[in-house]
């Protein structure tokens, strides 16, 4: 038996760049939503716009929900939202009933997700991890790739709710969704880095950047970044894709943590992480992740003439 729009009450925590369109698509799909954000005005404005409820505490949201969806920056915040910070503050478990499910759609550490699942299970609360890929564009269009980890029967039960946001893939046991998400972002980050370096080489050789991207997209070098980022955000110097460089670095670290835990050297992965950490230091904490390409160009320009000509 699957969750029902008419009877299943959904709480949604995190009305940010991704969470806002995701929650809006759940409402458009006919689900009863109550939203919460640490920015109370943001949650209230969303509720007024979409005709849903707005909770003024996590405990209140939990009391009004059968399933709670989380779209938050990282696993540490997810844990604090779910269980509290140990100082007696507001958190979901203050209002959750036994039998409630939490769906973590954030990019969290896979090992931390399994530990959180064990702690919630002891309280009679189930956990699914269901991180997403597709960015703001995919969130708005309800075409996200949703990587679900956890009990298959529970995932099937909540599939109608998840279906309002995109295509679902059941990956395996709890934490495996988060593992695949950060590995996906590693591959994505490596593709963007390779394309950025190739673009700079081509331009210095006298090739027009748009021509290079067109050729890559018609050839074996194409990837998500060449198709969806370079003309849209890099070549026009917009750098406003809506996904932070800091978040890409976070996901790369998590991917390498998984690789280390599995005793895989991941030589390219660690080198890629170092490059992105250098880009973060150069661009600053508020940079869009597409500004990695700007880092490649300008750091090369500041290199010695002999090194830059190699």
Active-site residue (options: 9, 42, 181, 229): 181
Q: Is 117 exposed, middle or buried (0-12, 13-18, 19+ CB in 10 A)?
A: buried
CB 68 within 8 A of CB 95: no
Is 36 strand, coil or helix?
A: strand
What are the distances in angstroms from CA 216 to CA 197, 222, 304? 13, 5, 29
| 137 assigned to active site | no
Q: How many CA atoms lie within 13 A of 244 on its CB side?
A: 15
- Tokens for 99, please give them: 């039998």
Beta-strand pair 32-36/166-172: unpaired
Is 100 strand, coil or helix?
A: coil
Catalytic residues, which ones? 181
């Amino acid at each position: 038996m699957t969750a029902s729009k008419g009877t299943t009450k959904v709480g949604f925590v995190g009305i940010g760049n991704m969470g806002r369109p995701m929650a809006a698509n759940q409402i458009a799909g006919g689900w009863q939503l109550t939203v919460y954000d640490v920015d109370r005005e943001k949650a209230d404005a969303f509720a007024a716009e979409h005709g849903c409820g707005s909770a003024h505490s996590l405990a209140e949201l939990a009391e009004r929900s059968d399933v709670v969806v989380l779209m938050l920056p990282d696993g540490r915040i997810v844990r604090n939202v779910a269980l509290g910070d140990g100082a007696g503050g507001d958190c979901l478990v203050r209002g959750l009933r036994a039998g409630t499910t939490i769906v973590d759609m954030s990019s969290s550490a896979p090992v931390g997700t399994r530990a959180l699942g064990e702690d919630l299970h002891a309280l009679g609360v189930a956990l699914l991890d269901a991180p997403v890929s597709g960015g703001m564009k995919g969130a708005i269009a309800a075409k996200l790739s949703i990587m679900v980890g956890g009990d298959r029967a529970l995932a099937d039960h909540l599939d109608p709710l998840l279906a309002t946001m995109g295509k679902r893939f059941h990956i395996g046991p709890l934490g495996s969704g988060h593992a695949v998400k950060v590995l996906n972002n590693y591959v994505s980050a490596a593709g963007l880095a390779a394309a950025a370096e190739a673009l700079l080489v081509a331009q210095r050789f006298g090739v027009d950047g748009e021509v290079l991207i067109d050729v890559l997209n018609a050839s074996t070098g194409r990837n998500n970044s060449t198709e969806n980022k370079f003309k849209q955000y890099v070549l026009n110097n917009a750098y406003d894709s809506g996904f932070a460089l800091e978040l890409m670095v976070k996901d790369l670290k998590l991917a390498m943590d998984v690789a280390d835990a599995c005793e895989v050297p991941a030589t390219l992965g660690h080198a890629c992480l170092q490059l992105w950490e250098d880009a973060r230091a150069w661009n600053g904490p508020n940079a869009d992740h597409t500004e990695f390409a700007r880092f490649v160009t300008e750091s090369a320009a500041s290199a010695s003439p002999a090194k830059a000509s190699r």
